[in-house]
Chain A
Amino acid sequence: MKINAGYEMGEGQFLRVEYERKSGDIKRVEPPRGNSLEILDNPELAKREKIDEKGEILTVNSGFKPFSFVTVEIQFKHSLDDKKYDVDKRLSKSYSKDNLTANTVYEFSERGAATFTFEKTRTDMDYGFNSVSSYTEDDNKLGFRASQRIGEDLSISANGRMSLSQKFYKNYEENPRDADYYYYGGGAQMSAKPFEKVDAKVEVKASRYETRNIDASLSSDNNVEYVYRLIPEFSIKPAGWISISQSYEVKMEYTEFTFDRNQNYLDRTTILDTKAKMSFQKGLNFGFNHRYDMRDTGSYLTVEGEENYNRTRENFKHRVKMNVDYEAADFLDLFSSALFRTRKRNSLGVENGEKVVTSSNFYDSGTLRVGFKGEKDIMGNGNIKLDVAYVRNYGNRISEAMRKYWDINMKLTFDF
């Protein structure tokens, strides 16, 4: 059964209600759980199952515009899904969810807008009398996003989010897994064109996520995860035939155990990516890309009030890619590319009171690819695509068959 009703009073002002309900039962023969093949030898293990099903969804949507520059939308949604198994009762599940979401869009200037979102959800999960896993969960979320464009060359945006999810187990004495998950974070982005031939962008993000088990039997696992990220990026086009771009990323992930500080750890990543494209003459293009990736990990311990970072591993990666493409004819491109990769991985330890590299391994590899590709219409109703390349790979983990080979692809199409 489904019912819809609604009322509109012009742009952005409305009230809509939808209600859907279903119920019924399913009767079927279920094979034995675990291994369906058992039924061939022991057909008596099959069970005649009856599943009673019930479900409903109620949605209320409303919107209004208190001012021409403010839009408010509120949604309420209730859903219920109930399945009861007569024989295999452990599969029974009753799930209900109530959600209220309010969304406000505020256009504070001709080129700027802010959005505020608030969401509240209650979930009830019931697995029946046979299980101690039933729980209710409360979820609250608050979000904010704003952007403003200033002139033609500058735009700024910011966002923030906060959420708290709380799990309450119904049989707490037998199953004390109550937990709270608390998150807040935010970020900002700025794009600008400081000079005619230069584009720049900066992005900053930070977040904190806490897992808080309530009971003493689990709270030693409580921890907070912090993530910080900074990504500046710029591109420059000094002349029509050349463009250069560079992006830099610094990321820090730090987990702090609330009670058991010996488990704290830190993961740092630094990436520098440089790209250049050149076009010396029509049809001849040259590309260059270098990527440097450095990551180190380790523990972050507090000893006598002082925080010490104990690095246990460091990784350095370089990747250089160069390619030349030449458009020899409308239907034919010649190409060549070369890729070089190196990776150094150090494990760190302490010997005689000094930090030393306890083991290290180095790996380098590369690929050279030369060939041509083309596409041409033939005989009025056909088309041929051809991609031919000679490939050479090197590296100490490359199998003999992959060291050098021809890679040939052809596609022939005719329309009848």
Chain B
Amino acid sequence: MRNKRGIILLSLMIFALALPQGGCLFEPREAQDPGSGGEDTWVEPEVPRDIFKNLSSGLSEPGNSNYERTISDGFIFVPMPKDEGEYPVLTGWDKEREMNMLDRLKSDYAVSREIFFGSGSENGGSFEVENPEGDRPSFEGKYRITLNSGSEEVIYGGVAKFTLEAVGQGGWKLVEWEDKDILEEGYGTSGLLRGRLSGAE
């Protein structure tokens, strides 16, 4: 009996070790060498509001890493109740859904994508309500997203509260984006954009 157990354990371990070596199942594809361009340089977030520069470049550029590095693993999006009623997929929105949404957004609006946070001349420079101190600083103010698919240009916007936390690489990450209000009549919020891009549930 003891021999039988040993043979089985050995077989299972060989199977587990051999499977990845087999190549086909666990071998990623070769990547092409990068062409010209690439992503905007990462801005080291010296102060909390610097994250808005990385969110903006992470949305505009084809690559996702600036955006991905800027949002916390525990990131949540809190929609406005009417948006959540329209798109139940917004309930329990986390980082994984945010990154999937970003992929689809960049596919559907391949020509250009811009996001501007706050008001004033600098992206993320000025908000209506600012609490920049402490381990969970927050900023509340306007944002405006302009997307171009080649055949149409659409604008989304709203008023949101952005809460940050002092963890992870670079010092600051976005942990919560809470939509609070519409920007003005006629504009959909980021919640509607997220819902539409994630498809009806």
Q: Which of A200-223 contact B (CB under 8 A)?
A: 210-223
Also in contact, A177 and B199, with CB within 8 A (given A217-B35, A221-B39): no
> Within 8 Å of chain B (Cβ to Cβ): is A118?
yes
> Within 8 Å of chain B (Cβ to Cβ): is A259?
yes
For A164, list chain B residues within 8 Å (CB). Answer: 25-28
Sample 15 A-B pairs with CB under 8 A, ordered by A number. A36-B86, A114-B12, A127-B199, A131-B107, A133-B104, A142-B26, A166-B28, A166-B29, A177-B107, A216-B33, A219-B32, A220-B38, A258-B31, A265-B169, A313-B171
Docked-complex contact B9 and A213, CB < 8 angstroms: no
- Measured as residues with beta carbon below 8 angstroms from the partner, the interface class of chain A is 35 or more
Docked-complex contact A216 and B34, CB < 8 angstroms: yes
> Within 8 Å of chain B (Cβ to Cβ): is A174?
yes
Docked-complex contact B26 and A144, CB < 8 angstroms: no
Q: How many pairs, one residue from A and one from B, have CB atoms within 8 Å of each other in the complex?
A: 154
Chain A residue nearest to B131 in the complex (CB):
A397
For B19, list chain A residues within 8 Å (CB). Answer: 118, 142
Chain B residue nearest to A259 in the complex (CB):
B34
- Measured as residues with beta carbon below 8 angstroms from the partner, the interface class of chain B is 35 or more
- Beyond the given pairs A35-B182, A51-B200, 7 more chain A to chain B contacts, judged by CB atoms under 8 angstroms and listed by A's residue number, are A85-B200, A133-B103, A144-B16, A175-B110, A182-B26, A214-B29, A214-B32
A265 to B29, CA, bound (A): 25
> Within 8 Å of chain B (Cβ to Cβ): is A246?
no
Docked-complex contact A116 and B12, CB < 8 angstroms: yes
Also in contact, A221 and B171, with CB within 8 A (given A83-B200, A258-B31, A263-B42): no
> Within 8 Å of chain A (Cβ to Cβ): is B168?
yes
A residues engaging B (CB < 8 A)?
Answer: 33-38, 51, 67, 69-70, 83, 85, 90-93, 104, 106, 108-109, 114, 116, 118, 120, 127, 131-133, 140, 142, 144, 160, 162, 164, 166, 169, 174-175, 177-178, 180, 182, 184, 210-223, 253, 255, 258-260, 262-263, 265, 267, 297, 312-313, 315, 347, 397
Also in contact, A297 and B200, with CB within 8 A (given A69-B5, A116-B12): no
For A90, list chain B residues within 8 Å (CB). Answer: 196
For B103, list chain A residues within 8 Å (CB). Answer: 133, 177
> Within 8 Å of chain A (Cβ to Cβ): is B65?
yes
A194 CB to nearest chain B CB (Å): 28
Q: Indicate which residue in B37, B107, B186 contacts A35 across the interface (CB closer than 8 Å).
A: B186
Quick one: CB contact mask for B1-41 with A, threshold 8 Å, 1 for yes?
00011001100100110011000011111111111011101
Docked-complex contact A162 and B20, CB < 8 angstroms: yes
> Within 8 Å of chain A (Cβ to Cβ): is B46?
yes
Docked-complex contact B63 and A221, CB < 8 angstroms: yes
Chain B residue nearest to A178 in the complex (CB):
B29
For B29, list chain A residues within 8 Å (CB). Answer: 166, 178, 180, 212, 214
For A263, list chain B residues within 8 Å (CB). Answer: 41-42, 65
